[in-house]
Amino acid sequence: EAGVTQSPTHLIKTRGQQATLRCSPISGHTSVYWYQQALGLGLQFLLWYDEGEERNRGNFPPRFSGRQFPNYSSELNVNALELEDSALYLCASSLGISLSEKLFFGSGTQLSVL
Amino acid sequence: KNEVEQSPQNLTAQEGEFITINCSYSVGISALHWLQQHPGGGIVSLFMLSSGKKKHGRLIATINIQEKHSSLHITASHPRDSAVYICAVPEGAQKLVFGQGTRLTINP
């Protein structure tokens, strides 16, 4: 069974551009979480989607947005990129909406903003 | 808001040593996650526990709900155990809060 897949693996953009990151959850998982891990910092919660709806978002500006498609895959969009957006972006999926469900992580997208 | 503290931040040990990583949190929780992040970024969920103890191979996780504390133990440590270990707890029903991680290095 395929795990959580993320694309692209690496993404290089310049300041002001837009970035789109993609995530496919494990088959049957309806919840998708996005996290940011900046260099030297811990994981920060970005967004949570379940059944196509945004359930919660972390303390990030509105230029971080996303969506979840009917097949439960998800996109994270970052507009007006800033240098400090350079980070590893991780996607995770789980079977249900409870935070007591085990999380399965993708390998991440390394975003570099120049 | 749930505050999560891990200790130590960095730990270097020799192969074969018994390893303990600690996690404390400030608000009562339903479950606690232990994650392992390898160089390169990939994260694996090791344990999710809400009480007592869980064991998987050489890894043991314990939690004391009353004291708001959890420990991750590694027996007979091996260089391939070198990774960052992260604990995470729910904040409310919709968000996980992560510790800063413990960077473990096991030397041969």
Of the pLDDT bands very low, low, confident and very high (cuts 50, 70, 90), residue A34 is: very high
- What pLDDT shows up at residue A84? 95
Q: Which residues in A lie closer than 8 A to residue B48 (C-beta atoms)?
A: 100-102
Chain A residue closest in CA terms to B4? A42
Residues B40-80 have pLDDT tens digits of 778 888 998 988 999 999 999 999 999 999 999 999 999 99
Q: Report residue B21 as tokens.
A: 């990583």
Half-sphere exposure of B49 (CA within 13 A, CB side): 23
Measured between alpha carbons, how far is A70 from A74 in angstroms, rounded to an integer?
9
> Any residues with CB less than 8 A from the CB of B43 and at least 6 apart, and which?
A90, A92, A105, A108, B35, B36, B37, B86
- pLDDT confidence of residue A62: 95
Residues of chain B with pLDDT > 90, as a percent, come to 68
**Nearest-angstrom CA–CA distance, A21 and A43:** 17
Report, as an integer, the average pLDDT of A64-70. 96
- Number of other CB atoms surrounding residue A1 within 10 Å: 5
Band the pLDDT of B20: cuts 50, 70, 90.
very high
The reply to whether residue B30 touches residue A105, judged by beta carbons under 8 angstroms, is: no
CA distance B2 to B19: 26
Of A96-100, B29-33, B47-51, B68-72, the poorest mean pLDDT is in: A96-100
Q: What pLDDT, on a 0 to 100 scale, did the predictor assign at position A79?
A: 97
- The span from the CA of A77 to the CA of A109, in Å, is 12
Q: With the CA atoms of B37, A3, B25 and A39 taken in that order, what torsion angle do they form, in degrees rounded to the nearest 10? A: 40
Sign of CA dihedral A107, B53, A42, A73: positive
List CB contacts (< 8 A) between A99 and chain B. 30-31, 90, 93-96
Using the Cβ of A70 and the Cβ atoms of chain B, whether some distance falls under 8 Å is answered with no
Neighbouring residues of A39: CB distance < 8 A, sequence distance ≥ 6: A86, A87
Q: Is the pLDDT of residue A97 over 80?
A: no
Residue B92 three-state SS: coil
Average pLDDT in the B21-47 region?
Answer: 88
Beta strands A31-37 and B59-64: pairing type?
Answer: unpaired
From chain A, the residues in CB contact with B39 under 8 A are: none
Q: Which two tokens stand for residue B70?
A: 């959890």
- Report the residue of chain A nearest B94, measured CA to CA: A56
How many residues would you count in chain A? Answer: 114
For chain B, give the mean pLDDT. Answer: 91
State which residue of chain B sits closest to A102, comparing Cα positions: B48
Q: Inform me whether the pLDDT recorded for A61 exceeds 80.
A: yes
| CB nearest B43 (choices: A90, A99, A110) | A90
| Chain B interface includes A58 (CB < 8 A) | yes
Residues of B in contact with A43 (CB under 8 A): 86, 88, 98
> Which CA distances in Å does A74 have to A61, A88, B42?
19, 16, 19
Q: Which of A42, A88, A100 sits opposite B48 (nearest CB)?
A: A100
Sign of CA dihedral B22, B26, B28, B30: negative
Does any CB of chain A come closer than 8 Å to the CB of residue B50?
yes
Residue of B nearest to A6 (CA): B42
